[in-house]
Amino acid sequence: MKAAVLVFPGSNREGDVAQAIELVTGRRPQMVWHGDGDFEKVDLIVVPGGFSYGDYLRCGAMAAQSPVMAEVKKRAAQGVPVLGICNGFQIVTEAGLLPGTLMRNSHLKFVCADVHLRVETSQSLFTNRYQAGQVIKVPVAHAEGNYFADADTMKRLEDRGQIAFRYCGPDGSIVDGRGNPNGSSSNIAGVFNDTKTVLGLMPHPENAVEPMFGGTDGKALFEGMVEALS
């Protein structure tokens, strides 16, 4: 699997995700600067976390209009898989590759913690190494992770199985917003586009791939992509 990781001024998790990809593929991904309108053909494009353009205007708003994102939109339309993590999730929603948007956390605080996620489907190139309903533990670190979409969009996401991950309690329960760290609608932590070739999520699976750092539950996401895309 050949991967590209985008780098914006203010990105800060690009090294983490590059490392996670290298861990499962044995191959360093290509790092692509935001001003590059063209880059090598790859099997996967990753939009990493951080604070692109200082989060000016709205998180991800400026990055979504950068030259590299124009190219990403073109390739996504051709079916090239795109993974947006944290700020990357904000960027891909601002770019219109995913429905909805990420708002300020309902309690207005930056949240940095391990959270439990329920995998909602294993039927995607990103989640095929998980079981539907499986509970995993990965970290979050954000101030704007409160997913919001209008009622019609929410219904469509539910009906079409476009919800990838939900925040939950350790037992997988989402009753009364259990485990929800940011006020996100329906406990949504990650969503797919309608072809399930674009995934955006707030948590950081790339920071849960080595036992030394508290868990390896994120590793299966990368292994699953390798399996699907190699």
Partner 1 sequence: MKARVHVTLKNGVLDPQGKAIGHSLNRLGFPEVDDVRQGKFIELELAETDAAKARARVEEMCKKLLANTVIENYSIELVG
Closer by beta carbon to partner 1, 58 or else 178? 58
DSSP percent split of the chain into helix, strand, coil, nearest 5: 30, 25, 45
Nearest to 68 by CA among 50, 95, 29: 95
As measured in angstroms, the least distance from the Cβ of 144 to partner 1 is 11
List residues binding partner 1 (CB under 8 A). 57-58, 61-62, 65, 94, 100-101, 103-108, 148-150, 183
Question: Is-catalytic flag, 227?
Answer: no
Q: Catalytic: which of 34, 116, 142, 204?
A: 204
User: 14, 34, 86, 116: which one is catalytic?
Assistant: 86
Residue 213 makes CB contacts below 8 A (sequence gap 6+) with: 207
Nearer of residues 61 and 228 to partner 1, judged by Cβ: 61
Nearer to partner 1, 101 or 162 (CB): 101
What minimum distance in Å lies between the beta carbon of 55 and partner 1?
A: 13
Q: Under DSSP, is residue 133 helix (H, G, I), strand (E, B) or coil?
A: coil
Q: Are strands 188-192 and 135-142 parallel, antiparallel or unpaired?
A: unpaired
Residue 86 bears catalytic tag: yes
Q: How far apart are CA 91 and CA 128, in angstroms?
A: 24
State the amino acid at position 187 in one-letter form.
N
Q: How far is the CB of 210 from partner 1 (least distance, A)?
A: 35
Rg (CA), the chain: 16
- Taking the complex as a whole, the smallest distance from the CB of residue 91 to partner 1 amounts, in Å, to 12
Is 204 catalytic? The answer is yes
Cβ-based nearer residue to partner 1, 34 or 204: 34
54 half-sphere exposure, CB direction, 13 A CA radius = 2
Name the residues annotated as catalytic. Answer: 86, 204, 206
